Amino acid sequence: MSQKPYIIVLGNEKGGTGKSTVSMHVIVSLLRRGFTVGSIDVDARQGTLTRYTENRKATAQKMSSPIPLAEHIPLLPSQHTSREEAAAEDQKNLEEALAKLAHNQFILIDTPGSDSPLSRAAHAMADTLVTPLNDSFIDLDMLVRLKSETMDILKPSIYAEMVWEQKKQRAIRDRGSIEWIVLRNRLSSINARNKEQMEEIMKLLSKRIGFRYLPGFGERVIFRELFLSGITVLDLEDCKMPMSLSHVSAKQELRSLIEGMGLPNVDAAAAA
């Protein structure tokens, strides 16, 4: 891997889609493959990823054998009343945080479920942008406007247009590109008509809007119930916790997600 860290951004403009949960699981997956990882919580006002990280540190201190930890920085948005000055300060603070974490191989940035200059700046830094969506038409509206009678695509959403704008900004800044991945998250095990429609529409959208889509996590309690201890399904063995069949399935979902993201050198690390 090159010296420049690979930046993964978790983003959309809707809350409750599992961004912080996916963030923590991607972080731990990379740590357990032997990579060094830094993380930035741009949603520090709510601070879910920051609290998850703090909980993990507290658990690690109680354990006889260590669990891997990321180097974490929370960022609050600027309080300047001038929008231009606020955007400039946000950009400066983000660049300083990235510089502090630049010795890591990966940096993951978790963003808020709302639009802000800081969130836009973070999106423009991405090598890979991951957008989790609950598997429902309510969340799909965050990507695209649909005609209710026919389900025809009317136009991309404001968020999709923002992502395209940040792609252009990234290309202008350093001629880099952003790979956009959309996760269908909290998938139901029931093969309902709604699920089939979502599959069809996501295939069409991926071509029209320009993203890859992957299945994320099923609707499993395990992905959320470990928050207070700051651990993930990958830590259960080290924490001497029993593994159920549901836990094994959850680990496989996570493994499939990481492999599907196609991050640099990850497959080689897994094979090693």
Q: List, edge to edge, every strand of the sheet that includes 179-185.
A: 71-74, 37-41, 106-110, 6-10, 128-134, 179-185, 212-215
User: Does residue 247 contact residue 223 with C-beta atoms inside 8 Å?
Assistant: no
User: Does residue 222 contact residue 250 with C-beta atoms inside 8 Å?
Assistant: yes
Tens-place pLDDT, residues 105-155: 999 999 988 888 999 999 999 999 999 988 777 777 777 777 666 566 667
Q: How many CA atoms lie within 13 A of 268 on its CB side?
A: 5
The two counts, helices (H) then strands (E), for the chain are 10, 9
What distance in Å separates the CA atoms of residue 260 and residue 267, rounded to the nearest whole number?
10
Give the total residue count for the chain: 272
Tens-place pLDDT, residues 198-231: 777 788 788 878 899 888 787 777 788 889 999 9
Query: Could you tell me which residue, 249 or 1, shows the higher pLDDT?
Result: 249
Closest CA to 227 of 4, 5, 23, 15: 23
Tell me the domains of the chain and their CATH numbers. 6-266 (3.40.50.300)
Query: Could you tell me which residue, 268 or 75, shows the higher pLDDT?
Result: 75
User: Does residue 118 contact residue 77 with C-beta atoms inside 8 Å?
Assistant: yes
Q: State mean pLDDT over 39-43.
A: 94
